[in-house]
Structure 1
């Protein structure tokens, strides 16, 4: 319980401050524990950041199951709604060191999920083309896309979701037109 309270307090503080601006004293006050208690549960700052990243991925910005290509863009739309509910936290996840840590395992899982979901569209492609298609789709479906389009183009989360869905649909349509086996699942 204490460990979870410390992680939750850090996540709440990340809603308002950058990770480097959060002192252990401030975290201890927010979690209502002594600083030494934090270090007992998290011997290093990296351990604390890693635990916060895992908690964020499990409780706020979850991996959304997908069974087909269109589910990926719908999942991104759902993610954008969550990013809009927690914009400072999404910003931290997108651009900070804690964000890279938080995204690391999540992105590995997401890439595997995307690869499986895209397989019906990419199975007939060369290795290079398959890898390129997977890379583009997983790059588009990313908190960094939400952050960049909001910051650089002033888009709302809804506009970001619409834009990413449009781009993904272009990729999916191209794959359906050009991949020899696209869309033919279960055939030999």
Structure 2
């Protein structure tokens, strides 16, 4: 009995293979169809626009080429991100596609990604009293500074390597969390000072 072919995955794998020799803009739907053994119309059914293809390819590359190792604590998250930046250095064509896709509006339903939910859970565990506004703000900061988009900006704008970009990331994490700690201390001080005095 023949195995059923997962057409979208085959298309994305073929597009990824093409990135080894061509830029994303040079990959045509016709060439993808020929490589996968389906019609160009089938490619369009799966990915109606090039934005859909770019977004699908970036998500697939993030999962297959750049999976973020599991983390629970902030130091584990920093170590996972450091490894990811080194992996981006090893496959820059793939990483630049991920970075480019992050700059377009999502074509699907915008819901929190697994990474967003994991970062938020990590922050809530590390800072149990964090409020919703700070959670969103710090989570968005950590997400951006651990992304392919940030890596690409540092790589092209400052000619930095993965380890150098990791150093910038670590300093940013320290600043973002330092503000959280300061805000938490301020809130604790205000709570303590608003309690009635026993000296009455």
TM-score range (shorter-chain normalised) is 0.7 to 0.9
In the alignment, the residues of structure 1 paired with residue 171 and residue 117 of structure 2 have an alpha-carbon distance, to the nearest angstrom, of 22
Q: Residues 90 and 142 (structure 1 numbering): CA distance in 2 closer, same or farther, change over 3 Å?
A: same
The offset of 1:99, in angstroms, is 7.3
**Greater displacement, 165-174 / 104-113:** 104-113
Counterpart of 1:84 in structure 2 is 89
Write the mapping of 1:66-81 to structure 2, written as runs, cut at 5 A.
66-81=71-86
What's the secondary structure of 2:113's corresponding residue? Answer: helix
Deviations 1:13-50 (A, max 9, x none): 2344343321122223443x243584487263466555
Q: Name the TM-score, length of structure 2 as normaliser.
A: 0.72
Q: TM-score, normalised by structure 1?
A: 0.76
Q: CA deviation at 1:87?
A: 0.2
**Cα distance between partner residues in 2 of 1:133 and 1:98:** 20
Q: Secondary structure at the match of 1:65?
A: coil
Asked if 1 retains the 8 angstrom alpha-carbon contact of 2:29 and 2:43, the reply is no
Q: Match of 1:179, SS?
A: helix
More contact order relative to length (CA 8 Å, sep ≥ 6): 1
Partner of 1:19: 24
Alignment partner of 1:149 is 2:161:
no
User: Which residue in the other structure is 1:35 paired with?
Assistant: 39
Q: Which runs of 5+ in 1 are unaligned?
A: 181-188
SS of 1:61's partner is coil
User: RMSD across aligned C-alpha pairs, in angstroms?
Assistant: 3.2
